[in-house]
């Protein structure tokens, strides 16, 4: 692969990050870290969406300017992603000056092209969605299905984007590229939405919304969310209507936009139409993930079940975020909803990371020290069918990531760990040592440790700190690309001393924090 460019949705900064935000960022970061092991040029973009009526109202209620409010809340997201070891390449804010200037140029270009026009309009406006809805979009009670509130009737003269002009092109693209929308079952949902599309409002009158990017030639209007927010994926790379940057030319189109299923319509219809109007290449894939429930219940402030990522890390006294990263990234099959519960979290990460994987490494290294003073002898270095299983697992994991099946890939890694554990049980090196079959015993330990190098590489995107700890004890280069993985990493000679052996992941046995604290 020449390059890999992935993005998350940019988060609206009217509140602090919760576990739903974290799920998307962890999922994207695991994908990003995986492809870092397949290319020398991977790029991950995340950021915050900072304009609109909700920010304007909430900041006023808090006695702050909109910019101060955004600065404070954007920092909460930056701090949270640092806590979760999300090593993004760039964090964009829609209040960044470069972004604002480019959005104004994009808007002006589309006006000049005739794809944006001014029009008086009366419609149903949902403040939660920051979108005009049609009656077909509402539920049986006449409410927005996402926010459960009735939209207000708004009359304005705004600028509109000719979405309908690109309807047939979008439909053709989706039908001709069955893997464009992931999971594929959501494509029909988008095609159904496409049937009833109308031109969309892309500005608001300043008398109603003042917190936004000014329309260049019309100071009475501010640019509305879609062109502002969606354009971040290209403005971050230095897109310019006249002279795009080297980074834009290098990374665009995006390999995958990772977004929530609730904003799929905006990315697979609105964003495609904007790109078509700008005559730019389309993203290769859109991954629409599901939602995270809490104890099988949808998160809600009124229910008091909104969980912050930092509270989980604190309540379990974790020194690294790997357990939460692993749990969230593997919480749901591709595109389906997932669930978080304290008990399931503790049970799953203890089983997979501590009991199965961590214990396998710890006891194998301990036996190497006990029987051979931590030394690998030349005669231990042999080939094994377990290496064939490891090679097969690398291919299977890569295949799943090609389709962004992150949970499914993790199950293949767990299977390899289970096979390595079974290999130890079946060959019983402790029995071989007791019977003084020391060469046979050493071969078993070598084969397992060599396999653990591959396991460390495969688990690194999910658990970067645990993988580094494993690699350190194995004297293995954790930055090895997947195509360069070999099965001669463990060399003859002293590998490890008793003092160097430490558990790579401790079981989560701390008392659960009181629910009210979350």
> What pLDDT is recorded for position 156?
81
Q: Give me the residue label for tokens 């046979």.
A: 440
Torsion of CA 54, 55, 61, 67, to 10 degrees: -170
Using only C-alpha atoms, the chain has a radius of gyration, in whole angstroms, of 26
> What pLDDT is recorded for position 515?
39
> What pLDDT is recorded for position 174?
98
> What pLDDT is recorded for position 303?
75
Q: Domains of the chain (ranges plus CATH)?
A: 341-500 (1.10.730.10)
DSSP secondary structure, 136-161, as one string:
GGS-TTSS-TTT-SPPEEEEEEEEEE
pLDDT in tens, the chain (518 residues): 799 999 999 999 999 999 999 999 999 999 999 999 999 999 999 999 999 999 999 999 999 999 999 999 999 999 999 999 999 999 999 999 999 999 999 999 999 999 999 988 888 888 777 777 888 888 888 898 877 889 988 888 999 999 999 999 999 999 999 999 999 999 999 999 999 999 999 999 999 899 999 999 998 999 988 999 999 999 999 999 999 999 999 999 999 999 999 999 999 999 999 999 999 999 999 999 999 999 888 887 767 788 999 999 999 999 999 999 999 999 999 999 999 999 999 999 999 999 999 999 999 999 999 999 999 999 999 999 999 999 999 999 999 999 999 999 999 999 999 999 999 999 999 999 999 999 999 999 999 999 999 999 999 999 999 999 999 999 999 999 999 999 999 999 999 999 999 999 999 874 433 333 33
- Distance between CA 98 and CA 114 in Å, rounded? 25
Q: Where are the beta strands (DSSP E) in 95-224?
A: 116-126, 131-133, 152-161, 181-182, 200-201, 203-205, 213-215, 218-223
Q: How far apart are the first and last CA of the chain?
A: 43
- CB count within 10 Å of CB 78 equals 18
Catalytic residues: 18, 21, 126, 129, 144, 147, 298, 301
> What pLDDT is recorded for position 140?
84
> What pLDDT is recorded for position 200?
93
Residue 369 burial by Cβ neighbours in a 10 Å radius (0-12, 13-18, 19+): middle
pTM equals 0.93
């Amino acid at each position: 692969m020449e390059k890999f460019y992935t993005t998350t949705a940019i988060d609206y900064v009217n509140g602090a990050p919760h576990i739903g935000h974290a799920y998307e960022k962890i999922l994207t970061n695991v994908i990003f870290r995986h492809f870092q092991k397949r290319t020398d040029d991977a790029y991950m973009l995340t950021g915050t969406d900072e304009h609109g009526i909700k920010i304007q109202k909430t900041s006023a209620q808090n006695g702050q300017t909109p910019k101060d409010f955004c600065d404070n809340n954007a920092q909460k997201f930056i701090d949270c992603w640092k806590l979760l070891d999300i090593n993004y390449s760039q964090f964009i804010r829609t209040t960044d000056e470069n972004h604002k200037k480019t959005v104004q140029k994009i808007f002006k270009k589309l006006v000049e092209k005739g794809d944006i026009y001014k029009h008086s309009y009366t419609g149903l406006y949902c403040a939660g969605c920051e979108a005009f809805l049609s009656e077909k979009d509402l539920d049986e009670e006449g409410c927005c299905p996402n926010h459960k509130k009735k939209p207000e009737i708004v009359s304005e003269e705004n600028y509109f984007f000719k979405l309908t002009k690109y309807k047939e092109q979008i439909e053709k693209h989706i039908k001709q590229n069955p893997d464009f929308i992931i999971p594929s079952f959501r494509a029909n949902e988008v095609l159904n939405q496409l049937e009833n599309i109308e031109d969309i409002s892309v500005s608001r009158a300043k008398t109603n919304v003042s917190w936004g990017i000014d329309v260049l030639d019309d100071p009475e209007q501010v640019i509305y969310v879609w062109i502002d927010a969606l354009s971040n994926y290209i403005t971050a790379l230095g897109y310019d209507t006249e002279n795009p940057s080297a980074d834009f030319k290098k990374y665009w189109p995006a390999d995958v936009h990772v977004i929530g299923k609730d904003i799929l319509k905006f990315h697979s219809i609105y964003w495609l139409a904007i790109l078509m109007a700008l005559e730019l290449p389309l993203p290769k894939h859109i991954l629409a993930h599901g939602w995270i429930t809490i104890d099988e219940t949808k998160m809600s402030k009124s229910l008091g079940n909104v969980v912050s990522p930092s509270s989980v890390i604190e309540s379990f006294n974790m020194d690294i975020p790997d357990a939460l990263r692993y749990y969230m990234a593997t919480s749901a099959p591709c595109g389906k909803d997932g669930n978080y519960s304290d008990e399931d979290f503790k049970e799953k990460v203890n089983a997979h990371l501590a009991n199965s994987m961590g214990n396998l490494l710890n006891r194998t290294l301990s036996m190497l020290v006990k029987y051979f003073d931590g030394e690998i002898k030349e005669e231990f270095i042999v080939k094994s069918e377990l290496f064939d299983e490891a090679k097969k697992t690398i291919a299977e994991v890569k295949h799943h990531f090609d389709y962004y099946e992150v949970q499914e890939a993790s199950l293949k890694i767990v299977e390899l760990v289970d096979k390595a554990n079974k290999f130890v049980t079946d060959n019983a090196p402790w029995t071989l040592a007791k019977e003084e079959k020391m060469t046979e015993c050493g071969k078993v330990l070598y084969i397992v440790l060599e396999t653990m190098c591959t396991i460390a590489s495969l688990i690194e995107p999910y658990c970067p700190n645990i993988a580094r700890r494993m690699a350190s004890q194995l004297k293995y280069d954790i930055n090895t690309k997947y195509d360069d993985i070999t099965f001669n990493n463990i060399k003859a000679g002293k590998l490890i001393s008793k003092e160097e052996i430490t558990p790579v992941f401790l079981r989560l046995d701390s008392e659960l924090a009181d629910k009210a604290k979350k």
